[in-house]
Structure 1
């Protein structure tokens, strides 16, 4: 009887040890799991000092004669940093769709060696700035191309939260409304309602093309005065400027 009790006790003890070991292994596995996601913030810029909202619109319109340019996107880590570099995967998820960007034509493909070496979460880091290298084409003067990106799992990273592993970049050569144009005390207060011809005038005649910065009051006042002055000079020689819908280009009085 005693031997039987000891036998059952021994098996119970072994079962408990196995259960604890299994639980510890599960906890360890969970603790070591990492995933990645795209940074998004409506109040703060990314590590390169530029806005990174739910999507980013880029226009070569602001770049003059530049044919190749870069948009930087922050990729962040969930989980613990590693003591080794860890490659990650990003793909285009709208390949072949109408209006979709074409790898090798509108941007440098993610499987290009130049990009592959960039898609790495460095050792002991929780974020990395990823360059998306865009190439200008003549069609961009009238068209916009959409690049839908998605972070995929690999041997280093598990699947992240679905709506955080995707990001949209829109590329064009047309004038596009800056994301922060309507922000309080920003460009709406300085130049009035946005328009493509108005923006062209601001760039060509006011000499201002940095539309991702916060304007201090004195500088905003200066830009208002300069815009009205340059527009008056232009109209005296060439007449009023109109948007495509017939709206006349004007600037608000400085205040």
Structure 2
């Protein structure tokens, strides 16, 4: 009987000694933002369109004056209950194909600093993911079938800094006829 009592006391003391050990939480002050990638292996580190579906190629013509493609962003760091601003900038790079033309801000797409885009570049509080639109516009001055390429990247803001620099670039390929 004494033997069972000692075993029971040891078990109770063993359970009382256990504590919940939590992993270390992110303690930094910076909050990161980067493009969301479903698969990163065997791909270049240029974010594809996320919606309407991955790999969607936007198009515009005289009957369809605008098309919208969404890119998914992933936020890393402290949860915030206040809205945060994200920013993009276009950059020049080598065209994917010889017949592509660089997209012109304001003519072929709505500029990222345009007042129309401001409301889309605000990430609501308590969000870890957000879909940001890139709006393609029809250019009536173009009279032939033309392929365009828009390369853009995330830039640091007061609220968010770029996370992994491999995941900071996006590309939109679209065409107009």
Same fold (TM over 0.5): yes
Q: Does the C-alpha gap of structure 1 residues 46 and 134 become closer, same or farther in structure 2, counting only changes over 3 Å?
A: closer
In structure 2, runs of 5+ residues without a counterpart are 1-23, 41-47
Q: Which residue of 1 aligns with 2:19?
A: none
TM-score, reference length from structure 2? 0.67
TM-score, reference length from structure 1? 0.48
Q: Does the C-alpha gap of structure 1 residues 108 and 34 become closer, same or farther in structure 2, counting only changes over 3 Å?
A: same
Q: Which residue of 2 aligns with 1:36?
A: 33
Q: Does 1:114 align with 2:112?
A: no
Largest Rg, 1 or 2: 1
Q: Which residue of 1 aligns with 2:74?
A: 76
Give the count of matched residue pairs.
141
TM-fit CA distance, 1:101? 0.7
Q: Secondary structure at the match of 2:142?
A: helix
Distance in 2, matches of 1:47 and 1:59, equals 12
Q: Does the C-alpha gap of structure 1 residues 36 and 125 become closer, same or farther in structure 2, counting only changes over 3 Å?
A: same
Q: Is the 8 A contact 2:26 2:78 kept in 1?
A: no
Deviations 1:13-44 (A, max 9, x none): xxxxxxxxxxxxxx99953321111122259x
Q: Which portions of structure 1, spanning 4 or more consecutive aligned residues, are displaced by more than 4 angstroms?
A: 27-30, 45-49
In structure 1, runs of 5+ residues without a counterpart are 1-26, 175-255
Q: Is the 8 A contact 2:87 2:156 kept in 1?
A: yes
Q: Secondary structure at the match of 2:28?
A: helix
Q: Which residue of 2 aligns with 1:86?
A: 84
Q: Is the 8 A contact 2:34 2:162 kept in 1?
A: no
Q: Which range moved further: 28-37 or 109-118?
A: 28-37
Distance in 2, matches of 1:38 and 1:140, equals 34
Deviations 1:69-90 (A, max 9, x none): 1111111111122110001111
Q: Which residue of 1 aligns with 2:127?
A: 125
Structure with the largest fraction of helix? 1
* Partner residue of 2:175 out of 152, 172, 175: 172
Using CA pairs below 8 Å that are at least 6 residues apart, which structure has the higher relative contact order? 2
